[in-house]
Amino acid sequence: MGIINPDVYVTNQGIEKKNTYISFYNHNVNMRKNGRDPSSLNVYEVSSVANIWWDQPARESDKNTLASVFVSTQLASDAIGQNLYTILYEKLKAMFPNAYDSVTVPVAVTVPDAVAP
């Protein structure tokens, strides 16, 4: 599961690339109670790291990433039962507003006709 960013991404080396692939692949989701503000006792911070690859095939081939971005959001205690990855993907999409969900197209498998004995 990931998103494709059609906007130009500029690497640290100054190379411009469109259609980079961004995913939380191989990263844990962290959740901790927000203890900094006493008025937010029922608020949790949910966070993870999303990696940016050249494109989706680069991710699927285990190529090196171009960069990483930290993604964090606040979550009320009554929302804890929700899918945390989905919540973080929504936050990630807000960071890359033109990005769209990556769709993996299943490969059609042709099964030969059975041969009668």
Match 């993604």 to its residue by tokens.
Answer: 71
What confidence tier does 104 reach under pLDDT thresholds 50, 70, 90?
low
Dig out the tokens for 47 from the structure: 């966070």
Strands 3-5 and 100-101: antiparallel
Question: What pTM, to 2 d.p., does this model score?
Answer: 0.79
What confidence tier does 12 reach under pLDDT thresholds 50, 70, 90?
confident
Q: Is the pLDDT of residue 93 over 70?
A: yes
Q: Is the pLDDT of residue 107 over 50?
A: no
